[in-house]
């Protein structure tokens, strides 16, 4: 895209627009992805910056330990999440939804609803860290590998094994159903119908 500012023509401007049904969750996810891509491509990856809020999840600790550039990926995601928190802070949404499941007097349906939202946000955060690792890893090579192929080939099935055993912490929680599991189950049902 070419844009003119006064007498200066700038050929390196990238304009993006993201929207979703409510304009928070998926919009914020894409904003985070674009913040990360822009930082990595421009060579402006921030050094370790403390996130605005700290929440801790066992599966995220395992993911960071599994990825070769895990801590750098987590730092990049946390920085981008904080930059996009004027719309929604995806990291805080995990904890907020999970805490809502523990409120007294909440119907079982509402508890399940908030737990599913918490799981969805946790999984989204997991994928964002994987995506950060991917762009940090692949950018110097100009992204010859698609993200989905990188997920499978770079770490074999280790990342998907973590997703299949998604949980909130390492001691007190049961494993919760991940989106990946639900997608595979739906895909099998569709294949049976064909």
- Block means of pLDDT (10 residues each) for the chain, 194 residues, are 51 60 72 91 82 81 95 94 81 86 85 88 94 96 92 87 78 57 50 39
Coil/strand/helix, residue 19? coil
> How much is the pLDDT for 129?
97
Q: pTM (2 decimals)?
A: 0.79
Note the pLDDT of residue 172.
55
Confidence at residue 9, expressed as pLDDT on a 0 to 100 scale: 53
- Encode burial over 118-148: b for 16+ CB neighbours within 10 A, e otherwise: bbbbbbbbbbbbbbbbbbbbbeeeeeeeeee
The pLDDT score that the predictor gives to residue 24 is: 62
Contacts with 41 (C-beta within 8 Å, 6 or more apart), sequence order = 139
DSSP state of 105: T
What pLDDT does 181 receive? 55
Residue 144 has a pLDDT of 93
Cα gap 145→160, rounded to integer Å:
18
Q: What pLDDT, on the 0 to 100 scale, is given for residue 174?
A: 56
Q: 167: Cβ–Cβ under 8 A, 6 or more apart, which residues?
A: 57, 58, 59, 173, 174, 175, 176
């Amino acid at each position: 895209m070419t844009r003119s500012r006064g007498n200066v023509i700038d050929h390196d401007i990238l304009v993006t627009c993201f929207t979703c049904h409510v304009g928070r969750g998926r919009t914020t996810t894409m904003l985070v992805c674009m913040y990360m891509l822009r930082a990595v491509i421009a060579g402006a990856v921030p050094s370790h910056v403390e996130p605005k809020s700290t929440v801790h999840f066992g599966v995220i600790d395992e993911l960071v330990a599994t990825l070769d550039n895990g801590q750098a990926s987590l730092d990049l995601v946390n920085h981008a999440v904080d930059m996009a928190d004027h719309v929604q802070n995806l990291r805080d949404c995990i904890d907020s939804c999970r805490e809502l499941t523990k409120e007294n007097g909440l119907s079982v349906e509402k508890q399940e609803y908030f737990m599913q939202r918490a799981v969805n946000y946790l999984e989204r955060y997991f994928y964002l860290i994987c995506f950060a690792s991917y762009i940090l890893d692949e950018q110097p090579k100009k992204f010859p590998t698609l993200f989905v192929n990188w997920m499978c080939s770079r770490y074999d099935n280790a990342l998907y094994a973590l997703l299949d055993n998604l949980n909130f912490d390492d001691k007190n929680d049961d494993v919760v159903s991940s989106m990946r599991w639900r997608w595979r189950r739906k895909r099998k049902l569709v294949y049976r119908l064909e």
